Structure 1
Amino acid sequence: MERILSGRERGIVELAGRLADSFAGRAAAHDREGSFPYENYEEMRREGYLGLTVPEELGGMGASLHDLIVAQERLAMGCGSTALAVNMHVSPIGQLAGLWRLSGDEGLADVLRRAADGRLVYASMSAEPGDPTLMTSSSVATPVEGGYRVTGKKIFGTESAVCTEFSTRARLDGEVLFFRVPRDAEGLRFKETWDTLGMRATRSDDFELDDVFVPADAVFHRYPVGHFDAVMLKTVWGWAMPTFGAVYLGIGAGAMAFAREQALARGRGDDPQVQHLFAEMEVLLETARAVLRRHAEELESGSLATAPVQAGMARAVLAKYVATNNAIAIVDRALHVVGGAGFFRRFPLERMYRDVRAGTIMPYNNLEALDLFGKTALGVEIAPATPPGP
């Protein structure tokens, strides 16, 4: 079905589409080599995509959450790895933009201006073994004069190859601290561990912090260990879940577009079985888009923050769950349409088939998500919640 977008959304999707079409020509080589697409980042920098979610008054495009969702879906149609990697920049920058609008903080304004003009590439790299929900940390922060010394191991360092600054977390007594770290900080060690089934060009390598100094003013949030956090819902989870979902849905949309080209080229448009498969793909695609739009509306209107934090978390995670699982179902059906040709690496569907599988293991993974949905539906408290901020 033809997508209905506002004039502003159409402009953003056209930008993402130009980039996606360019990236598509390089995607196979980066996938095969497991190499990071630096040239794609240079192109995004030139086109202003790295400033997509920076407020217009600070030099960016001022994209809303839903603007970002539709842009990321379109970008992922060309290269899922690039779309997922840059999501670790454009989503956190959008979160910081929201905080800046509330506070007017000049430090945040500086971060946003540097993102707008391409000097800063941000990354959110907080993943650790065994704790996907960010309620604690195996990394340890030790107070010292002027700040903290942090030691710990991180995994899935998506965008670590290109970022200039990143955010991560550590535990300090009974609190979880979130803070920013320059990519060239003394004591950081990056390891080339990323040799995976899919999303190979993200270069999501492991890294370690060995007694890394974190100034006190680099800490931007903290909350009690073992708690859901209302601020994290409005920022990290509220933006990351739907935009992750949008990336995987874009891979599904790309697979569907390829299958359409193949079906029409082979004269199979009148085949009832092909028509049935496309009908199912349309339902899956439009259902996921509707859930993502609903989430964006709830977050941006402030209504999501009126729900209990666990219930709000469940709604945010639901957006990612529906989008990623529907995307896998779309790709599977696209493979049925294309048939044996889709099994060959010279066609993009093979890469899309592998890339889309990562969606169900990224936080919240499917099992964690279903646990959250079921307990929330039955009124079972998973963890206490911090009160909402201002």
Structure 2
Amino acid sequence: MANFDQVNQRSNTYSMKWDGAKSTYHNPEVIPMWIADMDFQSPKPVIEAIKKQAAQGIYGYATEPAMTQAPQVIAQWLETRNQWQINPDYLGYSAGVVNGLGLAIRALTQEGDAIITQTPLYGHFKIAVENSRRKLISNPLKWHKGKASFDWEKFEQQIVTNHVKMAILCNPHNPTGRVWNTSELKQFAQICQRHHVIILSDDIHSDLILPGNTYHPLAQVYPEYQDQIITFKSPSKTFNLAGLQFAYYYTTNPDYQQQMQSAAAYASNPDLPTAFALPALIAAYQQSASWLEELLEYLAQNLKWLTTQIESQTPAQVTRSQATYLAWIDVSYLSCSEDELLKALDAGGVGVQTNREFGLDEKAGLFIRLNFATARSVLTTGVNRLIRVLQQLAAR
């Protein structure tokens, strides 16, 4: 049984989240609750698989995933977890989901093409689009009783007006934690189908579905358009393996596969996973399902606790997340700027992310994203610091 209450010391371990916080925040005592990785150890089978790989003592180039059992392991995982039957021959691989998204953008669109996604957005969508010299179209989500939903009329109008060539869907959505239902997914795909828009579906958080909710892959829900959909997944968020560099994508369109592979070759960078990623993936998907179920229960309890604490002591509203380990907190009641909020939180010892990281200006309100995938004792300290700062700002 996993011990998620264990406090793991991550400082001086080459951790971007903890060691990188020293160059991001001014307060040396800050608790970093920003970057989306967990403070939990990976499952024991994964740790043992990595130890075994390390013990052989030679760290050369890794075998291409297609030449290993990885494709069959992935296919079995998707069938078991999502009831989604895929052809493992149609899988492609990259070092990360963002790498794969960037590859698809460069391979399947031209410079200057418009690409649409919903805001608030995962910040690397913006980077991937703009660094490829494409035009980002921001489609704001609507809010009703603390729940995000699509603005269908605006979404379609923006596609038509801007001659959009590609749409990036985040399923489930980061940072709001929405798990899109089958009706929403079908409508999204149908609008894209009407206007011949390619869909990139970032499903990296699709195994982190909190109890009582159900994830559906878009290509499974709407097979009528599956040849125009590329789905991106990874074990990195689920099993805390981001540093091992492994992601995969799936499309039934052989032309897309060929174009993406050609683009990767042209870049003179195969962008393949490390030799540690493959045994870690296999151990995660074949031996760690029970660990994942325990994790999801712990995350759900963390979210429930922090929601109660924050909403009982401040006017802030915590979005009722259905997935991920990221709390999206509305603090628009504060009469301060985003910079003032960040400065106060830093001084108060809690490191989070706010509007600008998610493509929002202050006209949209004031929001905080907080990573709650940490031991309850650490979470308690961090949330108490957050509450104290919010109370001080409101009293000014």
Q: Same fold (TM over 0.5)?
A: no
Q: Which one has a larger percent helix, Structure 1 or Structure 2?
A: 1
Task: Normalising by structure 2, report the TM-score.
Answer: 0.24
